[in-house]
A = this chain, B = another copy of it.
Amino acid sequence: MAKGEWKKSGTDDLPLTGRSECEVFDDGTNTFFWRAHTLTVLFILTCALVYVTLLEETPHDTAYNTKRGIVASILVFLCFGVTQAKDGPFSRPHPAYWRFWLCVSVVYELFLIFILFQTVHDGRQFMKYIDPKLGVPLPERDYGGNCLIYDPGHPADPFHNIWDKMDGFVPAHFLGWYIKTLMIRDWWMCMIISVMFEFLEYSLEHQLPNFSECWWDHWIMDVLVCNGLGIYCGMKTLGWLSMKPYQWQGLWNIPTYKGKIKRIAFQFTPYSWVKFEWRPASNLRRWLAVLGIIFMFLLAELNTFYLKFVLWMPPEHYLVLLRLVFFVNLGQQAWIVAAITVTEFLIVVKYDPTTIMLPIPFFVTQCWILGIVLILIWTLWRFFIRDITLRYKETRRRRQEGSSDRDRVPGHADGSNSATSGRSKLNGNMDTVRHRKS
């Protein structure tokens, strides 16, 4: 989870200390803005509690009071978290912003756990407490259908199939991939995940009917236009962020109004820039980690669709959007993201095991097995077999050198650098020489 900022920072000494790669200037005058204001929050919280619980009449409606009690507990938890939760690597626009989203995701995770422990019927009906319109089965929809780009059957508007697909999901796709690019910060990783998801849609359209799209919807509109443009803009933004100067002056120290406004806008840019390269093939551990991250990313995206299917959420419901909004804001804590993804998947499995277990078509299974086998073989070759070959060559070369240099100082023939100099850019510049206790 690498995002714009990468500075480890405490609450008190936020903008002053830093171990970032790029040069940062900070005159440290924002201290009031950066403080957590714990006592102020406590005081306001107390006043609100006194007002609501002592001065207002408590209605004699147990269901209403229960609901209000739960909402109040959540709000108090958010108050606690915004002031007291651990800071992550991000400090812009304000650390409290990230603490807030961390706490929102904790609340969401606890809600998921609760849902997970209910029976399927109770869980679906429980959604009625959040929105009384929920908890009813979704209507059957007719997907797929006419895939002609130019439909001669409609002389008035032959391109109507394309206009039909131009719904709210187009900007959602674009924006989603723009933000994901800011997170992942690598063109290749983004493209792989984007293309992999379309493959997943193909593979799972027998389970979820709304995965079945026209071929041009999959590849041109989704991958090329929406995702591709999002990734392109994201990479451009990253390029700009890596070049821009990081000078943080206090608002009072800036003389002009234009400067002040620019400073406020720049508060939403990272505090500093840290170069990050994935280098997936630099060692086995990193390779497995990258595979794991791609897997979790795809699982989280699939959950979006499966979860609303099993919990009977209409796709245009505001809760679906809300979930996406805070998923985007959640880059800080990989732990809670992973926990949420796993819990969501468990809910899907528990609530609709039949859909999940629908047998995958034979052709699709073959393709997946082929893909997995290829990855396995490559992993084996890259991290085990190739190494053995290299080390064999190395030993032989060293022995030859040893026989000619026997009268010189022994033991310094660490020639693995030259042997690995031909490695591709994939491996990166560091971590190339792996030390083994052989």
Binding site for B on A (CB under 8 A): 10, 38, 42, 45-46, 49-50, 52-54, 58-60, 62, 65-66, 68-70, 72-73, 76-77, 80, 83-87, 106, 109-111, 113-119, 122, 333, 335-336, 338-339, 342-343, 346, 349-350
Contacts and interface: CB of A to CB of B under 8 A. Distances in A.
A37 to B, nearest CB: 11
B338 A114 contact: no
Contact of A119 (B60, B119, B349): B60
Given A77-B106, A342-B46, A83 B335 contact: yes
A314 to B, nearest CB: 25
B80 A114 contact: no
A122 B86 contact: no
Interface centre among A50, A52, A85, A86 (most CB of B within 10 A): A86
A69 B113 contact: yes
A12 B415 CA distance: 35
Contacts of A84: 86, 333, 335-336
A45 B112 CA distance: 14
Contacts of A106: 77, 80
Nearest to A111: B73
Contacts of A122: 62, 65
15 contacts: A42-B338, A42-B339, A46-B339, A46-B342, A50-B346, A53-B116, A54-B349, A58-B118, A65-B117, A66-B118, A69-B116, A73-B110, A73-B111, A76-B113, A84-B336
Q: How many copies does the complex hold?
A: 2
A85 to B, nearest CB: 6
Given A80-B335, A122-B65, A333-B84, A114 B72 contact: yes
A38 B58 CA distance: 42
Given A65-B117, A76-B339, 7 more contacts: A10-B10, A53-B350, A54-B349, A65-B118, A76-B109, A80-B336, A86-B86
Contacts of A115: 69
A114 B62 CA distance: 12
Contacts of A69: 113-118
A114 B70 contact: yes
A42 to B, nearest CB: 6
Nearest to A106: B80
Given A86-B84, A106-B80, A110-B73, A116 B346 contact: no
A63 B368 CA distance: 43
A117 B342 contact: no
A10 B83 CA distance: 17
A343 B50 CA distance: 9
A111 B58 CA distance: 18
B110 A76 contact: yes
Given A86-B86, A110-B73, A58 B335 contact: no
Nearest to A86: B86
A58 B73 CA distance: 27
Contacts of A58: 117-119, 350
